[in-house]
Chains A and B, each alone.
Chain A
Amino acid sequence: MTPQTKMKVAILGSGNIGTDLLVKIMRSQNLTCSLFVGRNMASAGMRKANDLGVRISDQGIKAIQENPDCCDIVVDATSALAHIHHWPILSAMGKFVIDMTPSKVGEMCVPSINLGNGSASSNFNMITCGGQASIPIVCAIAAVQKDIEYVEVVSHIASRSAGPATRINLDEYIDTTEAAIKSFSGVKRAKAILTLNPAVPCVDMQTTILVQVASPNLETISSSILTMVAKVQEYVPGYRLLVGPLFEDGRVVVTVKVNGLGDYLPPYAGNLDIINCAAIATAEHYAKTRA
């Protein structure tokens, strides 16, 4: 696509997530950021967007309401509560919406699993970082092992990569991640655990998937996982298999690590990078199918 035909994206929310998304969109062959919306012109994100020559506004959702043609896609990186207010407005305007918040409004999306499934939804939810990191692995195991009894997903993230919203919403993180794991894999029982590690230098995000299964076949599980990891790497370059699959103490154990691209956020913040990479993949898929 030439710059003129790139699909226009408005980013709602000028925090770390929104600003990192902006840098990723600037690199995209299919997307262009036509409007970057925050609430405070002096914030670091707004200044960064301005420096990059992107049109900015501090008017919140009004900025889009008053300029209905400013974009085709809206990425909402505000908060769950705000998204619940934004969605009816954006829906009435016919926008394709990618929701970065844990609002549970839209259809859950993990690009390596359900991006190409022809869903007609115009609101896709990016679940959680732990969900984006673990669900591909859980699904890869579930595809070759029908007798999974229970799945557990344990994520460790660097303290510095967990902003105030993450910290106050740990319960939502857990609920949303558990619900998504069950919904995508069909496994009946799932548990999510999140640990913050303050070590300096900061630790990379990593997620361990623990699975209880009566008779695991590690060879088939391994080849299924390797195929899936390659699929995820297509849109999350820093995603890699660190441990396993191995069978230890009655559990199948797999650990993945996510190095971020270091766009706006530092590379250790793989937790934020993976969810943003998933959003970009979703937006690009929409742009390509509509082109």
Chain B
Amino acid sequence: MQKPERSVLICDPTLRDGNHAVRHQLSVEQISAYATAANRAGVPIVEVGHGNGLGASSLQVGLSKTDDLTALEAARKALTSSRLGVHVIPGFATIQRDLRNALDVGVDVFRIASHCTEADITERHMGYIKENGREVFGVLMMSHMASVEVLVEEALKMQAYGAEALIIMDSAGSYIPPEVTARISALVDALSIPVGFHGHNNLGMAIANSIAAVDAGASIIDGTARGFGAGAGNTQLEALIAVFERMGIRTGIDLYKILDAGDLAERRLVESLPTISSVSIVSGLAGVFSGFVKPVNRIAAEYDLDPRDIFFELGRRKVVAGQEDMIIEVATELSGRG
């Protein structure tokens, strides 16, 4: 009997997670150029926006160079066959201020996210998108901070709210493959919707973790050009597509053209190629959100502290995404300037 052909849906948040790597300074020209290349390569979903998603341009996380609407309009024009996606964190984004505009611009896929234990804050936002007939995915961020059981419980809530897929994020890049296998297997067993994985490369595990996810039944994988993203970067999309080709997994993406998109990203978007820096390794070990690397490095220099000490202290305090102001508090305490 012939083995059924496997396929995976690729979601590319280069123009969203990548914004973390350039302090949310992607320009409208850069957005247009990369969206055009991704569209040409046949990437199914291209996610665009501030690093923390819609409505997150802020002094807390970083002000966007390009406002949400302008960025989405530019991407919408370029994406003639790829679907346009956004990341939405309730608490940052509101329905009236942010989601309505995104609907008007023609966003196709809304990925509504919460910290891994707080799924119930997404119910209203998901409901609104469902009412308006667009596609809704649920996203559980910082998923390493919850047990497998809690993760399943929270994922079931999102499924009940109408999520058409459920993605767990390794926002701190802290997983090793067996941990991914355990979580994805449990989610695939418990849910009736597709399950996805979003990796970060702090410990060099992003591709390996993505493969573990697919082998455990995940059918959606996130990856970005050159790994352009928060901290040590995301799962590198071009490499991922090549690995999937070897594994006989279909993605519908053209290899040469996604390699071209990667080259374009390196020329046009990336300030410095993501590397697994010492600080990113510590971020992964401490289980702290990858997006904290830039502000932690800045504040460590200002306070004459070792950024690694700040990361481990943030890890002890179990900070979550969106708590960037805690970096100053920790630095003030560690430096004795409080």
Contacts and interface: CB of A to CB of B under 8 A. Distances in A.
Contact of B328 (A159, A193, A196, A243): A243
Contact of A154 (B60, B117, B121, B124): B60
Contacts of B117: 159, 198
Contact of B320 (A171, A197, A210, A249): A197
Interface string B125-156: 00000000000000000000100000000000
Interface string A199-228: 100010000101010000000000000000
Given A152-B59, A170-B90, A198 B118 contact: yes
B116 to A, nearest CB: 8
Contacts of A174: 91, 94, 97
A234 interface: no
Contact of A196 (B91, B94, B299): B91
Residue picked from A152, A175, A195, most chain B C-beta under 10 Å: A195
B81 interface: no
B298 interface: yes
Interface residues of B, number: 35
Contacts of B92: 193
Nearest to A249: B298
B120 A255 contact: no
Contact of B329 (A152, A191, A210, A243): A243
A210 B118 contact: no
Contacts of B59: 150, 152, 210, 212, 251
- Contact residues of A: prevailing secondary structure: strand
Interface string A153-177: 0101001000010011011001100
A70 interface: no
B95 A171 contact: yes
Given A193-B91, A243-B332, A253 B319 contact: no
Interface string A238-269: 00001100101101010100000000000000
Contacts of B320: 195-198
Interface of B: 58-60, 90-92, 94-97, 115, 117-118, 120-121, 123-124, 145, 295, 298-299, 302, 317-323, 325-326, 328-329, 332, 338
Given A167-B121, A197-B320, A198-B115, 13 more contacts: A156-B323, A168-B124, A170-B94, A170-B121, A171-B94, A175-B96, A193-B91, A196-B121, A197-B319, A208-B325, A212-B59, A243-B329, A255-B328
